Every structure is written in C-alpha cells, then in structure tokens.
Amino acid sequence: MIQLCEVGPRDGLQNESKPVSAEQKVTLIQQAIDAGVKKIEAVSFVNPRVVPQMADAEEVMERLPKRDDVTYAGLVLSRSGLDRALATSVDLLHVVVATSDTFNTKNARRSVQEGVDEISSVIEDAATAERPSTAILATSFGCPYEGVVDENRVMRVAERFLDAGAQEIVLADTTGMANPAKVTRMVDLFKETFGGDTPLGLHFHNTRGLGLANVAAGYAAGVTHFDAAIGGLGGCPFAPNAVGNVASEDVIHMFEEMGVPTGVDVQKMIDAAIWLENVMEKTLPGMVMKAGPAFQVTNA
C-alpha cells in the first residue's frame, strides 16, 4: 500500500503570491481527507514575514476537523517554530535541513552543521513533549548552487536526526535535480546504512519533468511513502526557477494503473485539483486533471 503525504496545503501554497484564506486551506485539506488521504502537511510554523502565505498556521489548525485516522503535520525550522507548534494540536513535526551549505544558508540563515545541531535539539524537545518528528533532508539529490551533494554527507545528517529521535527520514529533491538511477542509488545506500526497517520517504519536484519517473524508481527500490501536492503546485521561495511538486493525482493514478493500491480516490483528487486551480486563478501543472484517468480507476 502506498502512503501519500499530501503537502499541497504547505509546500504547494508557500511560494504563491495570491493570498489563500484559512477557510480555503481547510477546504483543500478536507477534500484530500474525503479522497482518502491519511497524512497531510497542513501548516508551516515559520516566520510570517518571510513566508506570509503561512502566517495563519494556528488558525488553520484550529479549524481542521479532528480525526483519529488522519495525521496533520506542520513544518518547523527553528526553536521559535517548535514553541508555536507545541501550542497547537499538530500531530507530527516536519523538520527540515538542507544538505548543502549554500542552500541551507539561503533557506534558514545557517550552515548545515548549525542547522543539524539546532534541529536535533528541536527533535529531542519535541519527543519530550510527545510529538513525533519526520526529518526532511532538502537538496539530497543535488544543489542548484553547489551542484553534486556528497551522498555520505546526506547519510551523516540522516544519522544525526535518527539518533536525536526522528521517526522517519525523507530525502527531498528540492529543485528537481534527481534522476531514476540516482534515486535507486540513494535508496540503496540508505538501506545499506540504516537497514531496511528504518522508515524512508521521498519528496520530488518536477522541475525537469522527471518527477513521476523518480517516484516509480523509488517504489521499485522499495519505498512506499511519497510526498506530493494536489495539482502539482509548489516551489521553494529560496530555490531558483522553483517548480511545483509532483502532482498527487498523477502519483495516485500511476500507482492505481500499475495495480498498486493507494487507498485514495483519484477522481476526488482530480476534483480537488480543479477546485484549487480555480482558487489560484491559473493553470496548474498536473497532467491527469487535464486528460482524465487512462481508464476508470477504482480502489478495491
């Protein structure tokens, strides 16, 4: 069974200049839940002056339906973000550090080592407060400023976060620099380093058109947890030529056509993507929302 983490409400919207209200964000999240999505990155506890689209995190969390079968995640990049998150009902913390010094400095104003030290402390304190954490390693497949990122450095950062108590690692292709062979190599290295039972997720952007190919490569290498965003919306404010995430409905459609169950209704995800396109008042990059399913896809 594929586990989709729907990141549209956070990673999808954060780079958009058109304001999206808390009510609209909650409506988007509710549509994902109605489609069968069980894990949603709903909010971001970052500086609202830097990312104004995410300034209403507390209001969104307050408005969300309380569901025992749905996990709501919130992005945390700092100690102050942790304090804000712990004051809400968010279930899971998504903590992020880039594995490239240049990118991490632009994104979080600190080196990789400084970021790892601070985020490790955040993970430990979150665990004390009984809030689990997933550690996301940005630029795991390459950096737009530095080029190739040392694979062993990526593993060392993952090790620090696992030692601090992170329950899962997500390798993120923040600017779309991965390819299927690289994905296979990184997944194999992760398993060799930490064993096959250490939870691993993958996060791809479609900057160079390889998003779905990279998802398929990750699945072939044994990964079943993938991040994606409704409509393919998204992009990092600190990434040059940022392009959206791989589209959730495209990922679900691909797996269902392959006979791999997802537990998510693809038509409802398409409907959500069309709704979001109307909200954003622009064409979104998702493909299945335009062409429709290849065949009538249903879940068993």
Structure tokens belonging to residue 147? 């080029």
147 backbone dihedrals φ, ψ, rounded to 5°: 80, -130
Which of 181, 157, 160 has the alpha carbon at shortest distance from 171?
Answer: 157
Q: What is the pLDDT of residue 239?
A: 64
Among residues 35, 37, 236, 297, the one annotated as catalytic is 236
CATH number at residue 64: 3.20.20.70
- d(CA 117, CA 300) in angstroms, rounded, equals 45
Which of 287, 243, 242 has the alpha carbon at shortest distance from 269?
Answer: 287
Whether pTM > 0.85 for this model: the answer is: yes
CA angle 5, 32, 11 (to 5 degrees): 50
CA distances from 148 to 88, 136, 154, 203 (A): 38, 18, 11, 18
Indicate whether 226 belongs to any domain. Answer: yes
Residue 236 annotated as catalytic? yes
Residue pLDDT, tens place only, 241-270: 667 899 999 999 999 999 999 999 999 999
In the chain the beta strands, taken as DSSP E runs, fall at 3-6, 39-44, 71-76, 92-98, 133-138, 168-173, 200-204, 225-228
Indicate whether 299 belongs to any domain. Answer: no
- d(CA 10, CA 3) in angstroms, rounded, equals 18
- Mean pLDDT in each 10-residue stretch from start to end of the chain (300 residues)? 98 94 98 98 95 97 97 95 98 95 80 92 97 97 91 97 98 93 98 97 94 98 98 76 86 97 98 98 95 71
Structural domain including 56 reads: 3-291
Indicate whether 152 belongs to any domain. Answer: yes
Indicate whether 60 belongs to any domain. Answer: yes
Which of 178, 240, 182, 239 has the alpha carbon at shortest distance from 208?
Answer: 178
Q: What three-state secondary structure class fits 282?
A: coil
Residue pLDDT, tens place only, 178-237: 999 999 999 999 999 999 999 999 999 998 999 999 999 999 999 999 999 999 998 766
Indicate whether 300 belongs to any domain. Answer: no
Structure tokens belonging to residue 207? 């900057």
DSSP-assigned letter for residue 294: S
Structure tokens belonging to residue 152? 């062993």
Indicate whether 137 belongs to any domain. Answer: yes
Sequence-separated (6 or more) residues with CB below 8 Å from residue 178: 141, 142, 204, 210, 214
CB-CB contact of 45 with 57 (8 Å): yes
DSSP-assigned letter for residue 199: -
- d(CA 174, CA 214) in angstroms, rounded, equals 13
Indicate whether 297 belongs to any domain. Answer: no
Q: What three-state secondary structure class fits 110?
A: coil
Terminus-to-terminus CA distance in the chain, angstroms? 12
* H helix intervals, 73-232: 79-86, 101-108, 112-128, 151-164, 180-194, 211-220
Considering its fold, how many domains does the chain have in total? 1
Indicate whether 298 belongs to any domain. Answer: no
- d(CA 287, CA 247) in angstroms, rounded, equals 8
